[in-house]
Structure 1
Amino acid sequence: METFKLYNGVDMPCIGFGTDRTFVFIRKNILAGMVDFLKDITIGHGYHWKRDTSIIKIVKKAPQYDCHLFDTSSAYGQSERVLGKCLKKYSRDEYFIVTKLSNQEQREGDVRKALMRSLKHLNVDCVDLYLMHWPQTDTYLECWKQMEQLYKEGLARAIGVCNFKEHHFEELMKSAEIKPMVCQIESHPLFSQNKMLKYCKKNSIQMMAYTPTGRMDKRIRESEVLRTIAEIHHKDVAQVIMRWHYQRGVIPIANTTNLEHLQSNMNIFDFCLEQSEMESIDNMNIECRLRYDPDTVDFTKC
């Protein structure tokens, strides 16, 4: 797996797998967990059960298919536990773990406690990258100071942020001692975030992309631009998009419940997009955000 080097010298895989929210492990409240499970297998036709078990299968196999970067969050249900259980058969240097400080944990105010809980669930002594999930008003500045201390102690090899806009960075840097090493934001052909990418590159911040294929929105799935490029390179549309991210210097985090799709997402290093093709994909941008806007979101619901 090829890597991008963060400004502090840490090598980070250039593409990764996002676990999203999972439910399979029994929670501390066993009764609530069983109620959720029964609702899922009856009313929900086992959607979460099937989805979660497929994720377990994918995570166990992923390093064998050259996927070594795993993105999760304490806000994603039992996702950290899934990773901790599934990756324990691999040596620690075979995978790169990213987890996040949730908004609820920001409100609780004890970042050390939050990270230690995540480390226990992940079954590791330190995370490779610890991110602040959202720039929650009134909490993110103080929480960043605590993250800096945890980084200094070696509990995280790198620290960064998610869902920041330029004004959040400017406010943070008024009091920060350590500049974020990574910024994870929504980015895909309908919402390229090229302005934020330029800002990140100017400030030596590595950009990551979630929702990198735009959830295969119809406007992406049926795009003549993407279809034509895919045919030229004998690839599918998702592979073209993942390659577009890579050539921009962005780390895409893809989510799938299909092992074949994971293999396909990783198979983007045997072709190269021409500059004209890169520009054609850039021109698809219509500033269409598919997820929450950090300036307007209700932080208690994300």
Structure 2
Amino acid sequence: MLPIILCLVTLNLVNCEQQETTPLPTHQFPCGRIIPAIGMGTYGWGTEMRAFNSFVSAIDNGYRVFDTASIYDNKMALGLAIRQQIQAKKVIRKDLFVISKVWNTFHQREDVITNIKKDLRDLGLEFLDAGLLHYPTSFLPNSGLMPKYDNGTFIPMYWDKDRGYLEAYRGLEAAFMLGLIGHIGVSNVNEHQIRKIFDIAFVRPVILEIECNPFYRNEKLFQFGLANNMTVFCYAPLRSGKADLEHNQVLKDIATKHKHSVQQVTLRWNMQRGAVVIPRSHDKNHQLENLKSLDLALDDADMAQINNITQLPKVMDIKGIQSHPDYPFGKENE
């Protein structure tokens, strides 16, 4: 049976309605759903009250895409902010695109569905616009969120390569069929793992969420995603605040040329590559500053210079996961 690339409109009609017109650069999914090219990452937002206020200001400032995960502890704050802003008529639900990611200890098929239902309860929402696998590295279930051996390495659900995340993907497909999620995606995977998913998929993934910034372009995987009709979401697009971004002379020169900040140039570079960027920002002013990346256009020379910046190791990884049979970030996958 050939895999379905389009969303199932009969099951997820509300999820596939197009948004109202937006001035932001956009991406369109196969079902016709349109989202802005810049959203908001929500990892590590601190206390519930701080997170709530940040989410409220983000919606006020025009953000419509929010990326969370089952392991993040701010979903209730995000859901409360969304419901308050809807009630205040600042936004309507169909203009929001809310993503959550299934954690590694919930990779058994039924556990995936249970995990997504819990996320929906925490958020106070009826459906997720997208459900993703957070990592392909399945952990031993029913042993806490971080099951480890005494040496600090994680305990796999299976030692068989490719088995756990493929089982989890079946769970995402089941959640899709139940109308719990409107789109399916994967995160922190490599090309081999995506191909294995393509081989078994009834509903193909349409989102690829990976780390990418000028110092870790992830070019091969990035282009593989685009070539296979996947919308590429870039997390850590500002390198999680690392100083090497701010001090890079190439980025500084381009920023001076365009009278914008290094951060704005960096976000715009990724968007012009074809990405949806999801920077994190608690501060209302920083949220607005990031949106100013939409006010500039980099020329071919700018893009070429940024594409030639010397590459550095990725920023985001999990200590103790490197020995997992499905660890996705080995040198052979670069």
Query: What TM-score, normalized by structure 1, do the two folds share?
Result: 0.84
Identity of aligned residues (%): 25
CA contact (8 A) 1:151 1:159 kept: yes
Count of aligned pairs between the two proteins: 271
1:58 and 2:54 equivalent?
A: yes
Query: What TM-score, normalized by structure 2, do the two folds share?
Result: 0.76
Equivalent-residue separation in structure 2 for 1:209 and 1:293 (angstroms): 18
| Corresponding residue SS for 1:118 | helix
One-letter amino acid of the counterpart of residue 264, structure 1: E
1:296 is displaced (CA, Å) by 2.3
CA contact (8 A) 1:112 1:150 kept: yes
Question: Counterpart in 1 of 2:281?
Answer: 256
Show CA shifts across 1:119-177 (max 9, x none): 11111111111111001253210111121122123221111000011011122222111
Structure with greater helix percent: 1
Question: Counterpart in 2 of 1:240?
Answer: 265
1:93 and 2:118 equivalent?
A: no
| Corresponding residue SS for 2:269 | helix
Question: Counterpart in 2 of 1:105?
Answer: 106
- Cα distance 1:170–1:218, how it changes in 2: closer, same or farther (>3 A)? same
Show CA shifts across 1:213-265 (max 9, x none): 11232221101111111111111111111101110111111112211001111
Equivalent-residue separation in structure 1 for 2:35 and 2:179 (angstroms): 17
Question: Counterpart in 2 of 1:83?
Answer: 78
Equivalent-residue separation in structure 1 for 2:222 and 2:322 (angstroms): 21
Matches within 5 A, 1:209-220: 209-220=234-245
Show CA shifts across 1:175-225 (max 9, x none): 111211001011111100111121111111111111111123222110111
Instruction: Please point out which of 288, 296, 300 is paired with 2:322.
Output: 296
Equivalent-residue separation in structure 2 for 1:3 and 1:128 (angstroms): 16
Question: Counterpart in 1 of 2:185?
Answer: 160
| Corresponding residue SS for 2:118 | helix
One-letter amino acid of the counterpart of residue 97, structure 2: F
Show CA shifts across 1:42-73 (max 9, x none): xxxxxx44xx5333212012122111111100
CA contact (8 A) 1:192 1:285 kept: no
1:96 is displaced (CA, Å) by 1.3
Question: Counterpart in 2 of 1:134?
Answer: 135
Unmatched 5+ stretches in structure 1: 23-47
Question: Counterpart in 2 of 1:14?
Answer: 37
1:287 is displaced (CA, Å) by 4.4
One-letter amino acid of the counterpart of residue 187, structure 2: C
Matches within 5 A, 1:24-63: 48-49=46-47, 52-63=48-59
- Cα distance 1:157–1:107, how it changes in 2: closer, same or farther (>3 A)? closer
Unmatched 5+ stretches in structure 2: 1-23, 87-91, 139-162, 326-334
One-letter amino acid of the counterpart of residue 80, structure 2: K
CA contact (8 A) 1:209 1:252 kept: yes
CA contact (8 A) 1:212 1:253 kept: yes
CA contact (8 A) 2:137 2:324 kept: no
| Corresponding residue SS for 1:57 | helix
- Cα distance 1:75–1:86, how it changes in 2: closer, same or farther (>3 A)? same
CA contact (8 A) 1:54 1:258 kept: no
CA contact (8 A) 1:63 1:94 kept: no
1:97 is displaced (CA, Å) by 0.5
One-letter amino acid of the counterpart of residue 296, structure 1: Q
CA contact (8 A) 1:206 1:250 kept: yes
| Corresponding residue SS for 1:54 | helix
1:71 and 2:67 equivalent?
A: yes
1:109 is displaced (CA, Å) by 4.8
Equivalent-residue separation in structure 2 for 1:122 and 1:62 (angstroms): 16
